[in-house]
């Protein structure tokens, strides 16, 4: 376990569980859906984990790239797709740490889960009013490779929780939980208790607010897309800054441009980086 402290904020991390954040607390109040690191059994139960080298789903766990079909591992139970990349299911190494910051690293050799080698660093810094995260990935393959970054933070839904952000479009979901069509959308402003959503928003302005009777949380990111997932029966909401649209590699293979999807194609040795900040104050 790694523990960071700054002012009244405290953060616990579990590097061996996908480089995940176990919890973030303001005094004793959870900012993220939080569990003590010693009680975690996997990244899916954590407060937040990095998404590398892709976010959300790749349809039918099959990657088609430059004319070659690569079967991937179906890595989430009975779900037919590959989901959330590979970093969340691999141990990360602690490169450096102090009382308020830590740098983690993950090196990926090409395997059945992802056929392109890459390395990744994840730096987390805790301030008295915010948690700052920086994620960077370098293509170590000998050929151009698709790449994406993001985070999967979960926030508790307390009484009177409301989410608000601005965007330009929303990708509608089919029954298979893959995107079907993009529609114009101004974003979202809603009561979290009744919200039923599992969509990727694009042309996001990089700012989202989550407020309830106890906390005001401001999530900001350098990324231009946001996946939001919750249902009325859930006690938490996922607000995920991501670099590309869900199932982007399949949409790219069928004719959509990399630019409109946010899909990056990294040359050998080329890198990409993303930032996210979770700011918090009492309501």
Which structural domain, as residue segments, surrounds residue 146? 2-282
pLDDT tens for each residue of 202-247:
999 999 999 999 999 999 999 999 999 999 999 999 999 999 999 9
Assign 255 a pLDDT band (cuts: 50, 70, 90). confident
How far is residue 240's CA from residue 243's CA, in Å, rounded to a whole number?
Answer: 10
Residue 153 CB contacts under 8 Å (≥ 6 apart), including other chains: 21, 32, 47, 48, 219, 238, 239, 240, 278
CA distance 107 to 133: 19
Question: What is the number of structural domains in the chain?
Answer: 1
For the segment 114-148, what is each residue's pLDDT rounded down to a tens digit? 999 999 999 999 999 999 999 999 999 999 999 99
Question: 36-39 long-range contacts, Cβ below 8 Å, gap at least 24?
Answer: 36/12, 37/1, 37/2, 37/12, 37/13, 38/1
Summarize pLDDT for 146-191 with one digit per residue, the tens. 999 999 999 999 999 999 999 999 999 999 999 999 999 999 999 9
CATH label of the domain that carries residue 65 = 2.70.98.10
Q: What was the pLDDT predicted at 1?
A: 85
Q: Are 247 and 56 in contact (CB under 8 A)?
A: yes
Check residue 233 and give its pLDDT: 97
Which one, of 88, 120, 84, lies nearest residue 14 by Cα?
Answer: 88
Do residues 9 and 126 make contact, with C-beta atoms less than 8 angstroms apart? yes
pLDDT at 71 (0 to 100): 97
Mean pLDDT across 37-54: 96
Q: pLDDT tens, 53-92?
A: 999 999 999 999 988 999 999 999 999 999 999 999 999 9
pTM: 0.97
Residue 150 CA: distances (Å) to CA of 77, 194, 228: 22, 26, 13
Strand segments, DSSP code E, in 192-249 are 197-202, 207-211, 215-221, 225-230, 236-242
Please give the angle made by the CA atoms of 257, 260 and 262, to the nearest 5 degrees. 100
User: What pLDDT is stored for residue 262 in this prediction?
Assistant: 97
**Per-residue model confidence (pLDDT) at position 254:** 87
**Residue 253 predicted with pLDDT over 90:** no
């Amino acid at each position: 376990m790694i523990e960071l402290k700054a002012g009244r904020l405290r953060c616990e991390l579990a590097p061996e569980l996908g480089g995940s954040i176990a919890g973030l607390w303001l005094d004793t109040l959870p900012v993220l859906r939080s569990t003590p690191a010693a009680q975690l059994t996997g990244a899916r139960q954590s407060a937040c984990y990095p998404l590398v080298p892709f976010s959300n789903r790749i349809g039918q766990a099959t990657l088609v790239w430059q004319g070659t079909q690569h079967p991937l591992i179906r890595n989430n139970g009975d779900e037919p797709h590959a989901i959330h990349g590979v970093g969340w299911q691999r141990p990360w190494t602690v490169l450096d740490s102090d009382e308020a910051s830590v740098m983690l690293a993950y090196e990926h050799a090409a395997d059945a889960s992802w056929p392109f080698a890459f390395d990744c660093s994840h730096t987390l810094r805790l301030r008295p009013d915010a948690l700052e995260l920086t994620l960077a990935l370098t293509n170590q393959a000998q050929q151009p490779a698709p790449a994406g970054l993001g985070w999967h933070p979960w926030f508790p839904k307390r009484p009177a929780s409301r989410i608000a952000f601005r965007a330009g479009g929303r990708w509608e979901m089919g029954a298979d939980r893959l995107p079907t069509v993009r529609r114009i959308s101004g974003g979202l402003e809603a009561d979290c208790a009744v919200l039923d959503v599992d969509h990727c928003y694009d042309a996001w302005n990089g700012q989202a607010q989550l407020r309830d009777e106890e906390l005001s949380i401001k999530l900001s990111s350098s990324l231009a897309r946001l996946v939001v997932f919750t249902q009325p029966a859930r006690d938490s909401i996922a607000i995920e800054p991501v670099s590309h649209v869900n199932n982007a590699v399949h949409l790219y293979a069928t004719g959509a441009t990399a630019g409109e999807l946010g899909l990056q194609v990294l040359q050998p040795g080329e890198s990409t980086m993303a930032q996210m900040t979770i700011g918090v104050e009492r309501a």
